[in-house]
Amino acid sequence: MNSLCDLTGRVAIVTGGGTGIGAATARVLAQHGADVVIAARTLEDLERTSAAVEGSTGSRCLSVPTDVRDEEQVVRMVQRTVDELGRVDILVNNAGGTRMGPLATLPTKAWDASFDLNVRSAYLCTREVGHHLLEQRSGAIVNISSGAGVHGVKGGAHYASSKAALQMFTTVTAAEWGPYGVRANCIAVGPIASERAVEAWRVAGIEQDALSAGTPLGRPGRPDEVANAILFFASDAASYITGQTLAVDGGPHLGGIDT
């Protein structure tokens, strides 16, 4: 398994790479030999994560400030990756998020913003990285979705719809690019106790136990637990898996009697 997960000589791009799942993913991929480019809007977060990854792994971790909703910035980010690191083999479309709100009062701006961040950004990054993956006839794409995209969530019609769209985008990417040796998979995450999420829950008065109620494992996940699943999809351990959405969410929520 260690050899199957060896990423030595490969280059990965991780969007939303400054904090949370993205930062954990950069670290895990680098620990397994990949050089990593992390992209996000906040330079301070990127530089802190880059220094930590390089200091603990010995792999390169390049910070590229990027708003992945902006086409020109995405083009520059991918080109800089190739210019400085020589190639690109792995893309993790992790940037995403939303502000929740009831459908009855949801403004058009909020709907559009959710699709820009959660779907359009993944399309832009996939398209630009895809030029290189298709030419070299190899590569792996991992898109980070949400359980909301599978089951829905009240107060998040825009978020759930955009994440569901990301999952279908993954399916079609896998179907079209599989003949060229490019795999695309998706991870639907549940509540993940990143630093920012924990702070947001605190401000909103949400108890972590309440988020995990009914989940078999009985707790929120950790960023590194998602990162490990990303490593699997990005590596040769998943060489015959494409077009799939994997739930990393603590288990199924079922009704019925306690046993």
- Consecutive sets of 10 residues in the chain, 259 residues long: mean pLDDT of each? 89 97 98 98 96 96 97 98 98 91 94 96 98 98 95 92 98 98 97 77 68 81 96 98 96 75
Pseudo-torsion of CA 241, 247, 248, 249, nearest 10°? Answer: -170
pTM, full prediction = 0.94
Nearest alpha carbon to residue 68 among 55, 78, 58, 53: 78
For the domain made up of 11-248, give the CATH fold. Rossmann fold (3.40.50)
pLDDT score recorded for residue 256: 72
pLDDT for 252: 87
d(CA 65, CA 74): 10
Alpha helices for the chain (secondary structure H): 20-31, 43-57, 71-85, 108-115, 121-136, 148-151, 157-177, 195-204, 208-211, 223-234
Q: How far apart are the first and last CA of the chain?
A: 36
> What's the residue count for the chain?
259
**CA dist., res. 151 & res. 98, Å (int):** 17
Q: Is 57 exposed, middle or buried (0-12, 13-18, 19+ CB in 10 A)?
A: buried
